[in-house]
Structure 1
């Protein structure tokens, strides 16, 4: 069973937009955001478009060079806001089809697991609500060396050359 990384990708992109803004580099193009994610700008635009629909980011300009920026302070965007914007479902799902109602396990598993999964969902939402994009970025900057200057000043190729 694979994991869905859309939330991670979206929070990463928002942290990158916030870091750029803190350094006076806003807005950023999809290519600039993609450089941090090491991803394709088209995929980044698709993710950011969902965040735009939810009012978390805005687009400045039109055509090539169009940039992205946060619509409000990063300390006012929770990870739960991002989760909700993406339309993420809970971490678990019930059977894709109804189990055998004649089986004692099949007849009773759905209501019990629904209760379990609802509890997991509530705990997850409570945790996501406690973290903002600013919190995530601040924690990253506290714990890691900062290669951001290279990426904000040059192309991805330049950053990779200087990193090696």
Structure 2
């Protein structure tokens, strides 16, 4: 069953890119305090992810903070090295906490995994956005078509805050 409003955020180990290399973090720790906007993408460097999804959250970070968001995080079914390179290429800096879910453990625990094998991608995360308050999901929207950014973009999140 997919993550829904009222659910506790799953607690799994994710990896975050740092200057010293990938660092393990617990999802419940990095997503469980304050108001967090989490968006999930099937893969870094893919067209919708790179052209629309991530840039929207980077460009509108001040608006998110003004609405009380403490952390903006992105999870993707890539490794931490890929996420680090993607963040750098898109100028994400400290605006978005990158969380690598290379084995899709978070996506699966959240019920937000998908089979991308017909595209040679294996198990991937669905494209979604969620607002989490102190570890509890307040709102979540999952894209019906993974290659689009319609219900999970920053505009929709801002409207829900």
TM-score normalised according to structure 1 size: 0.28
TM-score normalised according to structure 2 size: 0.28
Q: Which has the higher helix share?
A: 1
Larger radius of gyration between Structure 1 and Structure 2 = 1
Greater RCO (CA < 8 Å, at least 6 residues apart): 2
